[in-house]
Every structure is written in structure tokens, then in C-alpha cells.
Amino acid sequence: MTTTRLEPGSPAPDFTLVDQDDRSVSLRDLRGGRVILFFYPEAMTPGCTTEACDFRDSLAPLQAAGYTVLGISRDEPEKLRRFRERDGLTYDLLSDPDHAIHDAYGVWGEKVNYGKTVMGVIRSTFVIDEEGRIDQALYNVKATGHVARVRSLVGV
């Protein structure tokens, strides 16, 4: 279980993961631009679909403001590809099946699901600046309305 939480100003843990098309995506390659990185529990579930579609619907203004949006889950690339196609998602979804990057960002741990304590993904979003530092660290967010809050925080 992860207890480390990232704080604004701390370096964003670097990673290289594969996307829905089995292509490698590295955070370091995105330096010089801003990144919104959101961790979600499972592709094609109701809450995750709501959040992913909200990011899709807000993508144009976020990109116009210089942001790259990336979603990360433990799902395999094939499932991510189906999710992306099913819901018309127009940004990359990254696969972290062993939750190593989830651990690095402090989003894997105990949570309450339907009144039961389980280990899993703590829905969270990070805004990363041009130098690769955490600008915003939003842990344990709700799927509904979350993207509007992110847009407000980044002024988009």
C-alpha cells in the first residue's frame, strides 16, 4: 500500500508506459508542455466512463491552453483500445498493470468501496508543469464534476 502523497512543487515521477496502441509514452518527452494526468480504476465502468468522457469533452480548450491529457489505469492495452473506440476518446490511455506508477504517484491503497475496505486505485488527477513538477495533486476525487474543477484550477 502506498502512503506517500505528492505535493505541489515536488518532481512528478517519470514513467514510460504503453498506450492503447502498444506505443511507448514517456513523461520526460512531454517536458516543456503541461500535462494533466488522471488515474482511474477501470476502463468501461460507469464512473470511469463519465470522467473519461468529461475529459474528452474538455480536450479542445485544455489543448489550446497547452495541456496534454493522459489517463492511466491497470487495464491492458487491448481493453484501453476498446474503451477509447467505444467512447470516442481522443487522448491516450496508458497501461500500468503492475500499478508501479500508481504507487509512485500515491494512488494505490486502501479505499472504501460500497462500505467495504479494499485495495485499489484511488481516483486522482495531477497537473504537471513545463519543468515536470507537480502543480496540483488532487487525490480521492469524484468522477462527476471533477473535470470542471480541474478546468477551474488551471484557468481554462
Q: Which residues pair with 25 in a beta bridge?
A: 17
| Whether 48 is catalytic | yes
Exactly one of 12, 17, 48, 89 is catalytic; name it.
48
Those residues whose C-beta lies under 8 Å from the C-beta of residue 53, and which sit 6 or more positions away, are 87, 89
Q: Which residues pair with 138 in a beta bridge?
A: 125
Confirm if 10 and 133 have CB atoms less than 8 A apart.
Answer: yes
User: Would you report the helix, strand and coil content of the chain in percent, each value rounded to 5?
Assistant: 30, 30, 40
Q: Catalytic residues, which ones?
A: 48
